């Protein structure tokens, strides 16, 4: 498969690296080489702070020519960061607001869901880190806590049934939001109608690109997954099972 696009956008967790894990040096090398050919975007439900933990520390040098072709889209694309060469730092270029009133409703509903004795969501009360994180433009709910080890997270909801149940309940309690599954135990909560496709669409419009200029690579490309909206919006989408498949795909692109 050849890369005949101007832009290649990747999901982060589950696509470029395991959930909340530092990206491998091999993957960074591949992305650096790719960014010398096309614009590379990385979109994630994670906050920019999380990018600072698991992606940017591995990027070899921010004055690389490829850095000019790198765009970071945290919180499902509701924020956009670009590298400011003059100031030598990553700069927030744009963000989509999430109303304080709706956030309060979401947090209240999540508190009810965690202890709900009727629906039985199987959420451990002895969590590892906070359940919910306010990421300014998105709230992310992690059923085992934000700091749960990946080995524990993998076995809690392998078929996504538990999270789909939480998603349905949360959207009933707070119809003003859209909820999508991400990672292994997470739910990304955004204003109704906003998702990764919308985030990418807003960024493309600002840069005077068209949807057909882009190819997207993600792992959660299933109905209710936080990558599925990109496919549903008609953008070219490649589903991968994990970082190994992503690396193979990039190598194939680079060999053409």
| CATH number of domain containing 139 | 3.30.1240.20
- Spans of the chain below 50 pLDDT: none
Task: Write down which residue in 173, 191, 209 finishes a domain.
Answer: 191
Please report the pLDDT score of residue 88 as a whole number. 81
Task: Say how far apart CA 70 and CA 48 lie, in whole Å.
Answer: 14
What's the pLDDT at 67?
80
Residue 213 falls inside a structural domain: yes
Tokens of 93: 């270029």
* Residues spanned by the domain of 15: 7-96+194-255
Residue 241 falls within a domain, yes or no? yes
Same domain, 92 and 210: yes
For residue 20, what are its two tokens? 């909340």
Residues 61 and 111 in one domain: no
- Quick one: 201 and 173 in the same domain? no
> Is residue 2 included in any domain, yes or no?
no
Find, among 180, 236, 200, the residue nearest to 79 by Cα.
Answer: 200
14 and 88 within one domain: yes
Is the Cα dihedral 83, 212, 8, 219 positive or negative? positive
Q: Cα(242)–Cα(4) distance, rounded to whole angstroms?
A: 23
pLDDT of residue 118: 82
- 130 lies in a domain? yes
Determine, yes or no, domain membership for 106: yes
Compute the radius of gyration of the chain from its Cα atoms: 18
Packed helices 25-35 and 243-255: angle between N→C axes, nearest 10 degrees: 40
What does the pLDDT read at residue 157?
Answer: 96
């Amino acid at each position: 498969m050849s890369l005949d696009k101007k832009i290649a956008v990747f999901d982060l967790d589950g696509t470029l690296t395991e959930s909340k894990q530092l990206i491998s040096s091999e993957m960074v090398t591949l992305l650096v080489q790719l960014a010398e050919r096309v614009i590379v975007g990385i979109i994630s439900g994670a906050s920019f702070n999380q990018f600072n933990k698991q992606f940017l520390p591995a990027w070899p040098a921010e004055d690389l020519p490829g850095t000019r072709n790198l765009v970071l889209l945290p919180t499902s694309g509701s924020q956009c960061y670009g590298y400011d060469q003059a100031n030598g730092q990553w700069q927030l270029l744009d963000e989509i607001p999430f109303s304080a009133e709706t956030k309060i409703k979401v947090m209240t509903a999540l508190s009810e869901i965690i202890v709900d004795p009727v629906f039985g969501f199987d959420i451990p009360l002895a969590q590892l880190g906070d359940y919910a994180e306010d990421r300014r433009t998105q709230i992310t709910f992690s059923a085992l806590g934000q700091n749960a080890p990946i080995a524990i997270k993998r076995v809690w909801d392998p078929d996504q049934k538990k999270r789909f149940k939480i998603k349905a309940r949360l959207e009933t309690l707070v119809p003003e939001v859209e909820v999508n599954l991400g990672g292994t135990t997470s739910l990304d909560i955004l204003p109704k109608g906003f998702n990764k496709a919308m985030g990418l669409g807003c960024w493309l419009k600002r840069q005077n690109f068209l949807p057909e200029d882009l190819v997207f690579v993600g792992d959660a490309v299933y109905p209710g997954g936080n990558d599925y909206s990109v496919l549903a919006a008609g953008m070219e989408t490649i589903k991968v099972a994990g970082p190994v498949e992503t690396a193979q795909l990039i190598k194939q692109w680079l060999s053409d």
